[in-house]
Amino acid sequence: MDNFFKKHALKLKAIALILMLVIPFFLYTAAMQGSIVQIKLLLALMIGTMLFVLKKG
């Protein structure tokens, strides 16, 4: 697993960056529609992305 992270470190970080930049747009749309379920799901995805950055960033 560690080897996989080392080999693809830059690609994985780039994916994390894209997710960090894109998820808030969906969060905004969900918040404007008042859909709490969607917001919570997207926040969970955001937390997952931040967790990856925290571990491997």
Residues that bind other proteins (CB under 8 A): 10, 13-14, 16-17, 20-21, 23-25, 27-28, 30-32, 34, 36, 39-40, 42-43, 46-47, 50-51, 53-55, 57
The token pair that represents 15 in the structure block: 């994916």
Residue 34 dihedral angles phi and psi, to the nearest 5°: 75, 25
Pick 4 or 14: Cβ nearer other proteins: 14
| Interatomic CA distance for residues 4 and 8, integer angstroms | 6
Shortest reach from residue 24's CB to other proteins, in Å: 4
Amino acid at 39: I
Residues in the chain: 57
Least distance to other proteins from the beta carbon of 56, Å?
8
